Every structure is written in C-alpha cells, then in structure tokens.
C-alpha cells in the first residue's frame, strides 16, 4: 500500500498479548504483507520488515534515509528461525544464547540462503538477535517470520525510546507503529561477531564485555571502536549517528572547565546546553541543562540518553557540551554513542 497515514496500535505490555490482542494480529499481518511496522524492544524501537523480502526491506532504507551499504539486524522469536538464517550454529553461539537470549545481544554468523540481499548489504554474514520485550516477541511470533529491524528513526538522529519519537521522525513514511510504552535498556544491543578466530565485539551495548567474558572467556574488540580511523563492521555504526540538531562537544575535564566553556560560548552570543548527570545539574549555568541519569548507576544514563539528546532539539541551541562517562560496563556503550553523536569532537582540559 502507499502510505498516506501511519496507523498507531496501542498495546499494554503487561497484558496477555499473544493470541488475544487484535492490535498485534493486525500489525503482524502488515509485516507478512511486506509493509514496514515500528515496534518496541527492550533496547530501542525497531523498524521491522520481512527479512526474506527485498521489496519490504527496501522500504526500511527509504523511510530512514539509510545508506544502502549499512546492514540490518534480524529479529527472531525462536531458535528454530535461526537455523534457517545461518549456515551453522556453533557451540559458542549456543552457550551465549542460553545465557543472553532473549536479550540485548546480537550474534553475527555466516548467513544461510534466502535472506533479502539488502539485509546483509552483500556481506557473507548476518546479524541476529532475539529481543526481550513481550510486545516484540508477540509480534514476531504472530508474524512467524524473521524481521529485519534497525532503529526506528531517521538516519543520523538519536534512536527512539518511545512511540512518540518514532511518530516524530517517520509519520507518513511507514505503515504503522506498535506503541508498547517506553523501552528499558535505552541503548542498542551489543553486536558480537562469531565468525572471527576470537569472538569480536563490533558494537558495545546492553550486554557488557565483562558479562560475555564470564560465559565464553576473552573476547576482542573491533579496532574501529578504538578510534584508529578504521570503518566499523557492525550494523548501525558505519555513519554518524545519534546526533541532536545543535553541535555536540564532549568535554574531558572537571565541572569548572565545562562551565568555562559555557561562559565563553554565551559571551559569543551562542545559546548553550549542557548534558550532565543528576548530581551535577545544579553546578552549570547554561541556557539549558539536562541530566540523563545518575553517575552512580550508568544504566540510568543509558536508559535516558537518547531521550535527552532529542529533548535538546526543542530549545534551538547552538552548541551542547556533554560530560564524559567511565568506559566500564554499559559506560562503554554510552561513550560509543556520544562519540558518534559528537562526530568524535572531544575537548580535553589540558
């Protein structure tokens, strides 16, 4: 169908969804009819299409304005679907799935036959995960097909953590949105490549390196994540992402140094924002100061990061200064997203 008006299905994630919810049934039918439907996962909202249909997947790229050489992650509702998507499931993948699926861990494996070419961007591998969200799992179960689903936003903008964010970006461009409330983790899944000699993290996310190593031992990290100029291999990290409209600058320095930058920018007649934590919010005197969580629990920062980056767009700012966060645990994912949003722009106090 030609999209004229985007349909909204409101679903209570606490209800007995599968086989009882007409909204889920209708949304799933649209996916099987090769339409594009946004839905919540435990990380961010995804933009889903039948992973076996090039025509359906093409609609994702068109709606997002996503570069065609940027591969997509496939979402499944059961392990049987994985068997058809990949050449083989190695024992190490079985170990990881036993611990982390459903959940925010994406596994990269050698692809099987029949997957839409646009999903893998011509690569010999495919990225797959099983989301840990009742609405997502019910939708995928009802559709009974693997679903390719990047984040449901216009490429380059912060990923959506509510249905309202999706509507803001994609109303009129996609068939429908399943509103299952706000997401939980807040940053996308961790992407782990199992086709290398040593398993390699291609994108940090909701499952930390430390958690993975507790299960399978040492893992490597994509050298591109260490900022050496290499192009990252992971879906969703090849291009600048997550950026608010104003210029975002990360600041490696204390509170006083950040305030010095704010004061200087205001003297230059710039409208200035600061991204900070709950503990530090009252320390800064800027046009807009937005906390995104507490530094004592970085999971709260991850959960609210994209929401706050989008909120800055309401204030017509010229520049936003952001604190940096410790790169341990989920902090690695937070700093990865902030660095991408800032285009690598980091000011150091020394």
What residues form the annotated binding site? 43, 66, 70, 75, 125, 129, 149, 151, 159, 189, 203, 242
- The crossing angle, in degrees rounded to 10, of helices 209-216 and 91-100 is 130
Q: How far apart are CA 300 and CA 286, in angstroms?
A: 23
User: Are 147 and 49 within 8 A, CB to CB?
Assistant: yes
Q: Which two tokens stand for residue 71?
A: 């591969």
Contact 295, 322 (CB under 8 A): no
| Nearest in space to 185 (alpha carbons), one of 164, 214, 207, 166 | 207
Q: Which of 51, 66, 54, 9 is nearest to 143 (CA)?
A: 51
Helix ranges, 181-273 (H) = 209-216, 255-267
Task: Write out the two tokens for 266.
Answer: 């205001």
Known binding residues for L-threonine are 43, 75, 129, 149, 189
Annotated binding site for ATP: 66, 70, 125, 151, 159, 203, 242
Please state at what angle helix 331-341 crosses helix 298-311, rounded to 10 degrees. Answer: 20
């Amino acid at each position: 169908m030609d999209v004229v008006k985007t349909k909204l299905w409101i679903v209570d994630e606490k209800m007995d969804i599968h086989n009882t919810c007409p909204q889920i049934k209708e949304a799933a039918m649209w996916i099987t009819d090769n339409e594009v439907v946004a839905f919540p996962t435990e990380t961010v909202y995804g933009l889903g299409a039948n992973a076996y249909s090039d025509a359906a997947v093409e609609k994702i790229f068109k709606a997002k304005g996503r570069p065609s050489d940027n591969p997509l992650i496939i979402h499944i509702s059961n392990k049987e679907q994985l068997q058809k998507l990949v050449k083989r499931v190695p024992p190490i993948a079985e170990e990881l799935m036993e611990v982390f699926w459903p959940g925010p861990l994406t596994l990269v494996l050698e692809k099987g036959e029949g997957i839409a070419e646009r999903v893998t961007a011509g690569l010999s591998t495919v990225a797959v995960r099983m989301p840990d969200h009742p609405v997502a799992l019910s939708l995928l179960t009802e559709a009974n097909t693997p679903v390719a689903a990047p984040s449901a936003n216009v490429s380059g903008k912060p990923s959506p953590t509510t249905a309202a964010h999706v509507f803001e970006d994609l109303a009129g461009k996609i068939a429908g949105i399943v509103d299952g409330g706000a997401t939980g983790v807040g940053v996308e899944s961790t992407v782990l490549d199992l086709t290398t000699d040593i398993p390699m993290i291609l994108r940090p996310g909701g499952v930390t390196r430390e958690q993975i190593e507790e299960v399978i031992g040492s893992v490597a990290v994509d050298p591109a994540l260490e900022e050496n100029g290499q192009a990252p291999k992971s879906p969703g990290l090849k291009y600048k992402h997550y950026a608010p409209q104003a210029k975002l600058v990360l600041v490696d320095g204390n509170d006083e140094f950040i305030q010095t930058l704010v004061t200087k920018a205001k003297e230059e007649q710039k409208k200035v924002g600061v991204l900070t934590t709950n503990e530090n919010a009252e320390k800064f005197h800027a046009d807009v100061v937005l906390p995104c969580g507490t530094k004592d629990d970085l999971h709260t920062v991850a959960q609210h990061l994209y929401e706050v980056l989008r909120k800055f767009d309401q204030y017509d700012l010229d520049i936003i200064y952001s604190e940096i966060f410790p790169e341990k645990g989920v902090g690695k994912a937070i700093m990865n997203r902030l660095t991408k949003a800032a285009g690598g722009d980091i000011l150091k106090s020394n």
